[in-house]
A and B are shown apart, each in its own frame.
Chain A
Amino acid sequence: NMASDGESDEDFVTYGIPLEPLEEGKLPLRKPVPLQDQTVKDEKGRFKRFHGAFTGGFSAGYFNTVGTKEGWTPSTFVSSRQQKAEKQNARPEDFMDEEDFGEHGIAPREITTTDDFASGRPDQIRDKAKAISSLSAPIPGDTLLEELIAPARSSIGVQLLRKMGWKDGQGIGPRLKRRQRKQDTDEKMYGCALPPTGSEESEDDDEFVPENVTFAPKDVIPVDFTPKDDIHGLGYRGLNPLQALGGGSGMGHINLFTVDSERTSSLFGGRNRGKQRKGGIGGQAFGVGAMEEDDDDIYHRDTMSNYDAVLGGEEPGDGLYGWTAPQQYKTKKRSEDAAYVGKILEGFTLGSQPTEAKTVFPPPDLPRDYRPVHYFRPVVDPSSVSPLVAQALQTSRGHLSLQDAPQQGRHTLDSAQRREMLGETTLQGPSSVFDLLDRKDRERLTKASALPTAQSGQTFKPFDKNPAKQARYDLYISRLKQGDKDALELSLDQSMTEWERGREREEFIRAAVLYKPSHSLLSSRFTHGKHEDDTDSVDVARDQENDVDDKQAAVKMKMFGKLTRDTFEWHPDKLLCKRFNIPDPFPGSGIIGLPKVKRDKFSVFNFLSVMDPPASTSSSASAPPAPKSSSVASGKRSRWDVSGQESQVKDSLSRFISEARIEVSAAQQDQTSTDTPPSKTAEPQADQTAKKAEDEEEAEEEEVRPPIDLFKAIFASSSNEGSSSSSEEDSGEEEAQAVEPQPIVPVITPTVNTIALPVLPQAPPTSSLCATTGRCL
């Protein structure tokens, strides 16, 4: 409804019924329909089953039968003898379901425009079909006759217009006076105006037409607003088969790019349809029939003149095609400067107000001695400059920023200043620590601190012992800061000798280079971190290697095996495994190499590795007397025959450490097992604990240390399996038989394991195993 009242929101036009506003908190929950419930039903609520592409893809009737469950009952015979009059003709619709009349049925009933009300626009598809049928007809051009005698039928609109007095060829609209019409039809003049000779028709009419006669407006050709739905170029219209095949040769000019001449003509009922058509197939490749008189273009010489070089071609009328021109264009003033006429682009008008000319001022004359370089005068913080320099600065240049002091923030004020500003009374008692001191002490203090406190702003005093020199240096530094070129020469004492000055110059330069203010020095050395890193944790290999000393000891005792071996978890790269044809031992782990853990950076415990007690105890143990073995008896000294004295050699320091470790670990064990304070650690005498530890060691190691026969048995047997030495073969075999192979394997040394690879059946013989022993850089 249209609102006429002056309310604020009544300016809008609303259509339809507004939706009811949703209640808050009762938002409709849209649950998705489960798959089993997604069914299709027809209008009667019957389930539809997908059946095929016909009848809209669904089965017709009742489960592919007729429309009811009972089935199709044949109509009973009814004698029509009595009812002949009311005999009815069965129409196809009688046998159709109502679905068939629907939108997707086989005979949809829809509202269509009848011919009476149809516009003059011809049906494109029908046209084309007709054209093709005419060509394929036994006599080409057969439909020509049909078109000739087509009933003169005009649409309702045309009939109405005629009744209103409209005549063919006239424009629509109120009748116009002559003047008006002339103005409308006035053409733009390009170049110089034509002389008003009576060549033009309008000019001719002008003179004979009386004033009171009105004219119908000129007929305009409407703009074709058909949407572009093809992929051809703009204005392109495909070859009309009627023209191209029927009468193409006669027309000569095949105009592919008629913007609207063809279309608009077709708008008006196809009045020009077939006007120039000739019967029969003509053109190239068909030859010339005997009945045809013109044989001019047998060989279809196509020239460029047959084609347009310009889009659009000749424009009719005002070039607007009835389009309502913009306002400016309509009410264009024609009385403009003649020089502009024809140069103005369409749609543009001349500006009414001339733009103001910009006044350009000449640059000022520079003084003769002007140097176009600017340097910024540094603002010197008085606190950072020695008082001498400050004074010098104040007298010489006077741009010391002392005046800025009151503007500084309140935090720079001290308590006394604030008190003054607030108007408070001074506190009783000593205001400073100095007041509490002796007068003598105070004097001494002030004397001692006079120089340093005065120059406390400066960070570094290279010539502290020589105040005059230091002052000169400070002056030099400050001048250097200001960018003074001859800072050095100016700051040196002129009264000194040339040699002295030269020396001082050197010193100052070096000092200035070396002792920059600390903050600048640091900032030159460091860069800001790109990202924040964990400052208190560091990547440390998760598994730490055991103590080296113990290992060395173990090696000395030829106790290869658990003692000298550290086994870590190691992650090979995925690609490496692939290249080695081996499944990844840790699939899915992103670690490569040894796993790392984050630990506190500054923890001592990162770098201490607490040994497990049995290893340490056994390492420092002394070997029991080795039983006589056959290899020793054979005269050759084997490396596996170790004497007890050799293994006992261990430096006292490592011994002490290992003892201490035992102590610690024992203490820890005590603590973990019971809450009672450890008695051993409480004992003050280190000797006693050491002794005790030694006792423990000896007690333990007898269990831990396996007898030498075990080694012999293992190694002798492995040597027999893998290979055998030439000389000791017999004795070795005997020994292997004599000594029972004991089922204790964990002590087998790793070196032997790797060396005696041929035991593995599938392993290739390792030809040259390079041990590190012989290699040394």
Chain B
Amino acid sequence: MSFPAPRPEAPRLPQHLHRSLECQQGAVRAVHFNADGNYLLTCGSDKSLKLWSVSRGALLKTYTGHGYEVLDADGSYDNSQLCSCSSDKTVILWDVATGQVTRKLRGHAGKVNCVRFNEEATVMLSGSIDGTVRCWDTRSRRMEPIQVLDEARDGVSSLKVSEHELLTGSVDGRLRRYDLRMGQLHVDFVSSEYTGHQNKDYKLDCCLSNKDTHVLCCSEDGHVYYWDLVEGSVTLKLPVGKAVVQSLSFHPTEPCLLTAMEGRVQVWGAEPADAESDTAMTD
């Protein structure tokens, strides 16, 4: 390449409050962007799952069918399906448009902490407190999981699916990477590296920023902590409120952050709110 690579612009961190949504569904256990970042899903402790528009802040649909607190949700790449998991040990596949339950999958022995679609939404993966990750087929009507990954020694608290890899975080302090292409399982022993936040009682979310420059994590002291990914140093300590920030989600492409605290979801942007709206108008 003859031209020098353009100097990467400084990552903009979402630190300005844009919008606050009162979800009216009890405590919001998890908040999640959809695949393109235009919508967001909130999981309520009143057994409901809600779909919102991020730009307008409007409630689009409420999905009811769980028997207990909804703990996590994810949307498929084409926005046609949702999956959610709950303390009632079930995983539900929803039809977005009709709000009907497409499939209700039972099999976990405990509450289901996290659920994710794979890239093509052909498989749902759910990690539970019972220490297993179950791979559910969304294509067939089979009620049994395709495979049960029971290598974890303790509850599975987080999941991430990439093209051919599964990442599971477990309470036993290990990160397991299932490489489907190589047929290998890598078990990494990890310990806390990004320190400073407070986490004692809750299952808190963490994520990476849209450009993977920063690590973000909720904290029980009402802040969201930003660490530099490489340096491991706290870059920003974003005050959200007084209560516990329980969940957060970063926009897949833009510097936009969702935080969930109690029954409220807040949308954060890199620019101040008015400026952002101005640019949105000019666009």
A contact residues vs B (CB 8 Å cutoff): 545, 548, 551-552, 554-556, 560, 564-573, 575-577, 579-583, 585-586, 592-594, 631, 636-640, 715-716, 718-719, 722-726, 728, 750-751, 754-758, 763-777
Contacts and interface: CB of A to CB of B under 8 A. Distances in A.
B231 A765 contact: no
A580 B118 contact: yes
A359 B100 CA distance: 77
Given A715-B230, A773-B191, 18 more contacts: A555-B190, A566-B186, A568-B186, A569-B183, A570-B183, A572-B183, A579-B139, A593-B150, A631-B231, A726-B11, A755-B208, A767-B251, A767-B252, A770-B206, A771-B206, A772-B175, A774-B205, A775-B203
Interface residues of B, number: 79
Contact of A769 (B155, B203, B207, B253): B207
Contact of B158 (A593, A723, A767, A772): A772
B218 A774 contact: yes
Contacts of B182: 585
A774 B184 contact: no
Interface stretch (B19-27, B50-58, B59-67, B161-169): B161-169
B87 to A, nearest CB: 13
Given A639-B193, A758-B212, A773-B206, A751 B188 contact: yes
Given A566-B186, A570-B184, A750-B188, A771 B175 contact: yes
A638 B232 contact: yes
B157 A567 contact: no
B212 A755 contact: yes
Interface string B182-215: 1111111111111001011001111110111101
B141 interface: no
A777 B123 CA distance: 26
Contact of B187 (A568, A577, A592, A769): A568
Nearest to B187: A566
A567 B212 contact: no
Contacts of A773: 190-194, 206
A715 B232 CA distance: 12
Nearest to A583: B181
Contacts of B186: 565-568, 750
B151 interface: yes
A536 to B, nearest CB: 25
Contact of B162 (A551, A560, A766): A766
Contacts of B203: 775-777
A16 B199 CA distance: 105
B105 to A, nearest CB: 15
B233 A751 contact: no
A30 to B, nearest CB: 53
A774 B194 contact: yes
20 contacts: A545-B187, A554-B189, A555-B191, A560-B190, A567-B187, A569-B184, A579-B137, A593-B150, A715-B230, A725-B235, A763-B162, A767-B252, A768-B208, A768-B249, A770-B159, A772-B174, A773-B206, A774-B204, A774-B206, A775-B203
Interface string B213-233: 101011000000000111111
A554 B173 CA distance: 14
Contacts of B157: 772, 775-777
Contacts of A771: 158, 169, 175, 190, 206, 215
B68 interface: no
B231 A723 contact: no
A372 to B, nearest CB: 52
Contacts of B146: 573, 575-576, 579
Contacts of B163: 580, 763-764
B188 A774 contact: no
A552 B191 contact: yes
A552 B180 contact: no
A369 to B, nearest CB: 61
Contacts of B97: none
B177 A551 contact: no
Contacts of A766: 160, 162, 208, 212
Contacts of A718: 230
A585 B180 contact: yes
List the 5 closest pairs (A to B, CB-CB), nearest first.
Answer: A585-B183, A768-B207, A772-B169, A639-B232, A774-B206
A534 to B, nearest CB: 22
Contacts of B231: 631, 636, 638-639, 725, 728
Nearest to A586: B183
Contacts of A564: 188-190
B250 interface: yes
Interface of B: 8, 10-11, 118-120, 122-123, 129, 135, 137, 139, 146-151, 155, 157-160, 162-164, 167, 169-171, 173-175, 177-194, 197, 199-200, 203-208, 210-213, 215, 217-218, 228-233, 235, 249-253
A576 B120 CA distance: 12
A592 B135 CA distance: 13
Contacts of B120: 579-581
Contact of B151 (A565, A576, A594, A750): A594
Contacts of A593: 147-151
Given A751-B190, A771-B190, A765 B211 contact: yes
Contacts of A554: 189
Given A772-B158, A772-B173, A775-B206, A592 B147 contact: yes
A765 B212 contact: yes
A719 B139 CA distance: 40
A776 B171 contact: yes
Given A576-B180, A637-B233, A638-B233, A725 B147 contact: no
B194 A585 contact: no
B267 to A, nearest CB: 16
- Which of B120, B188, B212, B213 has the most chain A CB atoms inside 10 A of its CB? B188
Contacts of B206: 768, 770-771, 773-775
B99 to A, nearest CB: 25
Contacts of B230: 638, 715-716, 718-719, 723, 725
B189 A551 contact: yes
A695 B122 CA distance: 57
A580 B162 CA distance: 10
Contacts of B169: 770-772, 775
A765 B253 CA distance: 9
A575 B137 contact: yes
Given A572-B178, A768-B249, A775-B169, A723 B8 contact: yes
Given A580-B164, A639-B231, A751 B175 contact: yes
Contacts of A715: 230
A726 B181 contact: no
Nearest to A773: B192
A285 B119 CA distance: 76
Contacts of B228: 725
Nearest to B203: A777
B123 A725 contact: no
B110 to A, nearest CB: 11
Contacts of B175: 751, 771-772
A770 B205 contact: yes
Contact of B147 (A572, A758, A774): A572
B232 A640 contact: yes
A425 to B, nearest CB: 73
B185 A567 contact: yes
B171 A750 contact: no
Contacts of B253: 765, 767
A698 B185 CA distance: 33
Contacts of B158: 770-772, 775
Contacts of A576: 123, 135, 146-147, 180
A26 to B, nearest CB: 60
B180 A580 contact: yes
Given A638-B231, A777-B171, A585 B181 contact: yes
Contacts of B188: 560, 564-565, 750-751
Contacts of B200: 776
Contacts of A566: 186-187
A568 B193 contact: no
